[in-house]
Amino acid sequence: MHGLHHWLNVSTSYGGLFDIDTKREDIQELEAKIASPRFWDDTDGAQKLLKERTSIDKTLEAWGKLCRLMEDVKIHIELGSEAEDEETLAEVHKLNAELAEGVDRLEFQRMLSGPHDGNNCFVSINAGAGGTEAQDWAGMLLRMYLRYCERKGWKSEITDCQYGDEAGVKGVTFLVNGDFSYGYLKAEAGIHRLVRISPFDSNARRHTSFASLFVFPEIADDIELKIADSDLRIDTFRSGGAGGQHVNVTDSAVRITHIPTGVVAACQNERSQHMNKATAMKVIRAKLYELELAERAAKAAVIGGEKKEIGWGSQIRSYVLHPYRMVKDLRTGVESGDTDSVLDGDLEEFVVAFLMGVRRGEKEGNG
């Protein structure tokens, strides 16, 4: 049974890693605030604290389950050592595997502990150079991420869409409502490359297309951002495209430009100009907040690769449909030969590998 005894130190080593003691102190402080008779005076603040308590409770519950499992492993190790029982040894291996899986799950939860990882988010997809071919690829990515959101149980709503001239989209922005949607989807920010026989080429030649994806957390209204009315240009227009399921064709679409930075956001999905303006302002706030954080850290590239050229040398993932079929993440090396499933939203393996790999490779405090 040599080699299994390292799990006997789980409480000490992993307890510190997951800040269990700190979380227990945090839950006590939260309980004291929640017990206050004036707790509900600030409804939004109260809801935020309740959500925080639920999140910590889940972590502590998962930790408690791991500790109980660890005790089972200890007992089986002792019994097996005394009796040299192969059946008990097999049970130890089984419990050990469950314990390792549980630790991995907790570690992944720790990956999603950034200040905005639990937030909803806006996702923008833009076609690279290449006309119809690239626009069709951007449309394929849109479908892939909407399907991924469905798989995760998140709600998504397209807020702005510029349709392609013949197919696909030139650019599209959608809002994702779901727990930790930003924490997950931030892993997908970057340039995505497609290689295939073009359905738009009469000579059936192979084409390479690019599209970019940016992800911005939805920022709560209680986060102060200084946005002067004089810095905003607000234009109204009639939304284009087919409308239908995702985009309502109205005369009240709104485009807002933040003049000092050139940041632009539009919304054409709501049924009134007032609602479109409110949604567009949410996108503006999200983008400006990310921009401010990036400038503070002197890392402009934090904005999901927004300043990168949409082309060769800056892609994060390749989707090859000809002459072979393979999706490969160029950051983690994760591959899948089931391209149809990936394009249908089966992205979890790619997302988890990147999030886990990034944190493991980062120095403490950079996350």
**Which domains, from first to last, does the chain contain?**
5-111 (1.20.58.410), 121-361 (3.30.70.1660)
Out of 16-25, 120-129, 170-179, 224-233, least confident range:
16-25
Give, for 263, the enclosing helix (H) or strand (E): strand 263-267
* Distance between CA atoms of residues 19 and 366, nearest Å: 17
- If pLDDT is split at 50, 70 and 90, which confidence band does 151 have? very high
* Distance between CA atoms of residues 140 and 137, nearest Å: 5
Query: Is-contact 173 286, C-beta < 8 A?
Result: no
Choice between 64 and 208, residue whose per-residue pLDDT is larger: 208
3-state secondary structure 143-163: HHHHHHHHHHCCEEEEEEEEE
CA dihedral 343, 346, 351, 357 (to 10 degrees): -110
Please give the average per-residue pLDDT across 221-244, as a whole number: 74
What digits encode the pLDDT tens for the residues 29-79? Answer: 888 888 888 889 888 788 878 877 887 787 788 788 888 888 877 777 776
3-state secondary structure 97-127: HHHHHHHHHHHHHHHCCCCCCCCCEEEEEEE
Which of 300, 304, 309 has the alpha carbon at shortest distance from 193? 309
Out of 9-18, 94-103, 128-137, least confident range:
9-18
So what's the pLDDT on residue 237? 82
Give, for 16, the enclosing helix (H) or strand (E): helix 10-17
- If pLDDT is split at 50, 70 and 90, which confidence band does 210 have? very high
* Distance between CA atoms of residues 332 and 353, nearest Å: 7
The answer on pLDDT for 361 being more than 50 is: no
